[in-house]
Chain A
């Protein structure tokens, strides 16, 4: 089986986490022309070189998202980004606007058609195959529809510009949109923040009441979060997804942290391997589900793949992750000879037995057990705000690396 696991990278930490966790490829956005321009801290054009070098050195492909609505005044920035994409060998551009598609075609840059294009049928696949070798299908299709599209592509031998059979990509994990993805104007209407310029304020995630404007009567709704779908999680049906003939499995979440990317990528990597080796068991699925539930999630369902007519809605405004990370401090020094890292506590306290979560540009995400509290080289019971702690750590740390304490969500 030759399926590609594609992970989100909203930061260098998340990118490294994806690399460490066994992703085959990552996708990222730069500047403001991507669907996470509001929420993810943001790479800039100058970061493209480092992203490309680091991914390729690790044997991963990297794709850049350029999938917002494009205005006339965006064209020069677009050209600047594409020039850097070409120069640094980014493997493909993920696009939906024809200005991007046209420019990439002219410049000989490989294209993926974004889910923003809502490709939902074979005719559309055939159309976009003139420009792109990979097409991300709309997230609202059923597995039957996906399988039918995949088998027809092979039967009709629909090839992309490279001459290879067109690849189909689907989302396997992460947040879902209450609308057909990319066709929502709620955020734009309420706060002038266009989801299609990456500025979605996610009003759908709030509770609402339905009011009859004539009588003023409020409609009672069992679950107030009537517009907030639970998150997609396909681990229990991953074998069926692979059987449908898709070639790329995409994890949503460029606004999520390195710990999220690491956990989700690891679980799906293990699941793909288990399926390949014929040991995809309910016990393993239960274990992956448990691990996936430790990081950000709004509760899981399997999306529209099984043909549900209506979505499953959340019951809370935010995450129901079973673990929480509490910020504790940042990196200060590294002693390479003895492989010891020094961090300063900026918030709260740490004690023996705490599980520490570290995120950093160079190493992604690491979890360690804090089994010996060393403050300024001396053993203590607790490390408090202002204390500098040291512990063995295999990777070089820097001042931008962050230290968190990991707690069960109920204790936080």
Chain B
């Protein structure tokens, strides 16, 4: 099952993930960082199982993240 991984502590809250794939991301009003919606969090690593199509769309998100904290797995 394809998945998206976010290493959240290094997120700088630029908002590009939310711009590119709004159905999977929100900007937290609590700490200003990106939230990978419905992701399972293990400490600071957030993982979400996604469909093949979402996975393909997420490539651009992963590449656009300026601090490279969004990975595909």
Contact = CB atoms under 8 A, between A and B. Distances in A.
B46 to A, nearest CB: 16
A33 B32 contact: yes
Interface in B21-73: 27-33, 64-67
A193 B67 contact: yes
Nearest to B28: A73
Contacts of A74: 13, 32
Given A32-B11, A199-B14, A73 B64 contact: no
B67 A199 contact: yes
Contacts of B30: 76-77
A362 interface: no
Given A38-B66, A201-B66, A194 B14 contact: yes
A38 B67 contact: yes
Nearest to B34: A73
B45 to A, nearest CB: 18
Contacts of A77: 13, 30-32
A405 interface: no
B32 A71 contact: yes
A32 B13 contact: yes
B7 to A, nearest CB: 14
Q: How large, as a class, is the contact surface on chain A?
A: 20 to 34
A191 B31 contact: no
Contacts of B27: 71, 73
B29 A32 contact: no
Given A76-B30, A192-B64, A38 B12 contact: yes
Contacts of B29: 73, 75-76
Mostly, the B contact residues are loop
A293 interface: no
A150 to B, nearest CB: 36
A197 interface: yes
Interface residues of B, number: 17
A193 B65 CA distance: 8
Interface in B1-21: 11-16
B8 to A, nearest CB: 11
A37 B14 CA distance: 11
Interface string A188-231: 00011110011101000000000000000000000000000000
A74 B32 CA distance: 5
Nearest to A44: B9
B26 to A, nearest CB: 9
A198 B12 contact: yes
A191 B32 contact: no
B13 A73 contact: yes
Nearest to B63: A192
A80 B65 CA distance: 25
B67 A73 contact: no
Contacts of A270: none
A198 B11 CA distance: 12
Contacts of B64: 192
A31 interface: yes
Contacts of B13: 32, 71, 73-74, 77, 197
Interface of A: 31-33, 37-38, 71, 73-78, 80, 191-194, 197-199, 201
28 contacts: A32-B11, A33-B32, A71-B13, A71-B27, A71-B32, A73-B13, A73-B27, A73-B28, A73-B32, A74-B32, A75-B29, A76-B29, A76-B32, A77-B13, A77-B31, A80-B31, A192-B16, A192-B65, A192-B66, A193-B14, A194-B14, A194-B66, A197-B66, A199-B12, A199-B14, A199-B66, A199-B67, A201-B66
Interface of B: 11-16, 27-33, 64-67
Nearest 6 CB-CB pairs, A to B?
A: A193-B66, A73-B27, A77-B32, A32-B12, A74-B32, A199-B66
Given A194-B14, A199-B12, 15 more contacts: A71-B32, A73-B27, A73-B28, A74-B13, A74-B32, A77-B30, A77-B32, A78-B32, A193-B14, A193-B66, A194-B66, A197-B66, A198-B12, A199-B67, A201-B66
